[in-house]
Structure 1
Amino acid sequence: MLVVNASELNNTERHARGAGWESLRMLVKRDGVGYSLNETRVLEGAELHLHYKHHYEANYCIDGEGEVVDVSCGAVYPIRPGTLYVLDKHDQHILRATKGDLRLVCVFNPPLAGTEVHGPDGSYGPPANDNT
């Protein structure tokens, strides 16, 4: 059994940060469950251009308000607590936090190692083949 408390991850290698966001990597690849789970905060006013070319991602909003834009067609979807959006086609997207910090629970498959940060194109690199 794994038991993880978010408050114990602050300022550790499982606390990833970038411009306009931070993420606590609750489960990572080395935990061996086949997916990773993050608690992510997007700061109010942030606009993130993202494109997870190597991962599928599901995001469940627990606080704040924002929107996600599907770059391929321009569709804009509101996000508020209780909203789930899934990047099931490696969708290029724009994520905006518009009212308060946007807090999301995010699941990645394949799992993240835990230390990833977004590259210039908004993606994470391909997953490593080891157990890191």
Structure 2
Amino acid sequence: MIVKHLEDVIGTAADVDTEGWNSRRLLYKDAGMGYSVNDTLIKQGHEMEFEYRNHLETVYCIEGEGQITDLASGETHDIRPGTIYALNKHDRHVLRANKGTHMRMVCVFNPPLTGREVHDESGAYSLSV
């Protein structure tokens, strides 16, 4: 059994902080679960473009508000607590947190992240083996 507390991750190597987001890696590849789980903050007012070419991601919003835009269709969806979205086609997208609020998301990746990934120039994570 694996048991972790968010406060035990904050400030460690599993707490990846960038200008636009902060991802606290709760479970990653070395847990042997076949997926990874992050508690991620999208910082207020930030807008970022991503495309997970090597991973599938499911995201559940638990705090804050923003939008996600599918760049293939141009469709924009509001995100608020209780919203889930799945990038089941490696969808290129823009994610934005509204001004005055951050978004707190629970993110699940398959295949699992190793723990220290940051986005490359295309907005993707490298495939870690």
TM-score under structure 1 normalisation? 0.95
Which residue identity does 1:123 align to in structure 2? A
Misfit runs of 4+, over 4 Å: none
- Taking the aligned partners of 1:74 and 1:17, their CA distance within structure 2 comes to 29
Report the counterpart of residue 60 of structure 2 in structure 1.
60
Deviation at 1:97, TM superposition (A): 0.2
Report the counterpart of residue 121 of structure 2 in structure 1.
120
Report the counterpart of residue 12 of structure 1 in structure 2.
12
1:104 partnered with 2:105: yes
Report the counterpart of residue 85 of structure 1 in structure 2.
85
Q: Deviations over 1:17-53 (max 9, x none)?
A: 2221001000000000110000000011000110100
- Preserved contact between residue 17 and residue 117 of structure 1 (Cα < 8 Å): no
Q: Deviations over 1:53-106 (max 9, x none)?
A: 000000000000000000001100000000000000000000000151100000
Deviation at 1:127, TM superposition (A): 2.1
Which residue identity does 2:93 align to in structure 1? H
Which residue identity does 1:114 align to in structure 2? G
- Taking the aligned partners of 2:19 and 2:76, their CA distance within structure 1 comes to 22
Report the counterpart of residue 21 of structure 2 in structure 1.
21
Deviation at 1:111, TM superposition (A): 0.3
Query: Between Structure 1 and Structure 2, how many residues are aligned?
Result: 128
Tell me the secondary structure at the aligned position of residue 94 of structure 1.
strand
Tell me the secondary structure at the aligned position of residue 7 of structure 1.
helix
Tell me the secondary structure at the aligned position of residue 111 of structure 1.
coil
Which residue identity does 2:122 align to in structure 1? D
Report the counterpart of residue 31 of structure 1 in structure 2.
31
More strand as a share of residues: 1
Identity %: 45
Q: Which 5+ residue runs of structure 1 have no aligned equivalent?
A: none
Q: Which 5+ residue runs of structure 2 have no aligned equivalent?
A: none
TM-score under structure 2 normalisation? 0.97
